[in-house]
Amino acid sequence: MAYDVHASFVYLDDGISGHKCRIDASAASIIQKKDLLCSGLKTNEEKCHWEPMQIGEWLGMIINTINFEFEIPPRKIEKVKKNIQYILSSNHVSYRELAKIAGFINSLYLAVGPPVRLFSRQLFFIISQRDSWAGHLDSVPPLLMEELRFWLDNLRYLNGYNIRPKVSLEPLTIHTDASGVGYGGYFTSLRDVNIHGHWSVEQSGKSSTFRELSAILLVLKTSVQRLQHKKVKIFSDSQSACRIVQVGSRIFELQNIAVDIFNICFINDIMIETQWIPRAENRTADVLSKTIDLDDWKLHPELFVMLHRAWGPFTIDRFAANYNTQLQRFNSRFWCPETEAVDAFTKNWSNEANWVCSPVALIIPVIRHMSVCKAKGTFIVPRWPSAIFWPAIKTKPGKFAPFVKDSLVLLKKKNSTDVHSW
The per-residue pLDDT for 317 is: 94
The per-residue pLDDT for 168 is: 61
Give the CA-trace dihedral at 96, 98, 101, 104, to 10 degrees: -60
Per-residue pLDDT of the chain (422 residues; tens, 9 = 90+): 445 666 777 878 788 888 888 888 888 888 888 888 888 888 888 888 888 888 888 888 888 888 888 899 989 889 889 989 988 888 788 899 899 999 999 888 888 888 898 999 889 989 998 888 888 888 888 888 889 999 999 988 888 888 776 666 678 899 999 999 999 999 987 776 788 888 988 998 999 999 999 999 999 998 888 888 888 999 999 999 999 999 989 888 999 999 999 999 988 988 899 999 999 999 999 998 988 777 777 888 888 898 898 888 999 999 988 888 999 999 988 888 888 888 899 999 998 999 999 888 888 999 999 999 999 999 988 888 888 888 888 877 778 888 888 888 877 654 332 222 22
For residues 339 and 288, give the distance between their C-alpha atoms in angstroms, rounded to a whole number. Answer: 18
Among 350, 361, 421, which residue's Cα sits nearest to residue 387? Answer: 361
Q: What is the DSSP letter of 345?
A: G
Q: Could you give the 3-state DSSP secondary structure of residue 56? A: strand
The per-residue pLDDT for 422 is: 28
The per-residue pLDDT for 312 is: 84
Q: Could you give the 3-state DSSP secondary structure of residue 342? A: strand
Among 98, 93, 238, which residue's Cα sits nearest to residue 179? Answer: 238
Residues ≥6 apart with Cβ < 8 Å to 40? none
- Distance from the Cα of residue 353 to its chain's centroid: 32
Cβ atoms of residues 117 and 138 within 8 Å: no
Angle ∠(124,127,130) on CA atoms, nearest 5: 155
Cβ atoms of residues 116 and 105 within 8 Å: yes
The per-residue pLDDT for 16 is: 84
* Report field, pTM of the whole predicted structure over 0.85: no
Cβ atoms of residues 182 and 198 within 8 Å: yes
Residues ≥6 apart with Cβ < 8 Å to 197? 182, 183, 184, 218, 321, 322, 323, 334, 336
Q: Could you give the 3-state DSSP secondary structure of residue 62? A: strand
Cβ atoms of residues 123 and 144 within 8 Å: yes
**Side chain identity at 26, as an amino acid letter?**
S
**High-pLDDT (> 70) share of the chain, %:** 95
Domain ranges of the chain: 7-53, 74-162, 172-290, 301-400
The per-residue pLDDT for 322 is: 84
DSSP helix, strand, coil percent of the chain (3-state; round to 5): 40, 20, 40
Question: What strands lie across the sheet with 182-187, from one edge to the other?
Answer: 194-198, 182-187, 172-178, 231-236, 271-276
CATH number for the region 172-290 comes to 3.30.420.10
The per-residue pLDDT for 3 is: 55
DSSP 97-158: HHHHHHHHHHTTHHHH-THHHHT-HHHHHHHHT-S-TT-EESS--HHHHHHHHHHHHHHHHH
The per-residue pLDDT for 355 is: 94
Residues ≥6 apart with Cβ < 8 Å to 47? none
CATH number for the region 301-400 comes to 3.40.50
Q: Could you give the 3-state DSSP secondary structure of residue 177? A: strand
- Distance from the Cα of residue 32 to its chain's centroid: 48
For residues 211 and 182, give the distance between their C-alpha atoms in angstroms, rounded to a whole number. Answer: 8
| Sign of CA pseudo-dihedral 409, 361, 350, 317 | negative
Q: What is the DSSP letter of 308?
A: H
Question: What strands lie across the sheet with 69-71, from one edge to the other?
Answer: 55-58, 61-64, 69-71, 161-162
The per-residue pLDDT for 420 is: 27
Mapping DSSP onto H, E and C, the string for 192-257 reads CCEEEEECCHHHHCCCHHHHHHHHHHHHHHHHHHHHCCCEEEEEECCHHHHHHHHHCCCCHHHHHH
Domain 172-290 matches domain 301-400 at the CATH topology level: no
The per-residue pLDDT for 412 is: 64
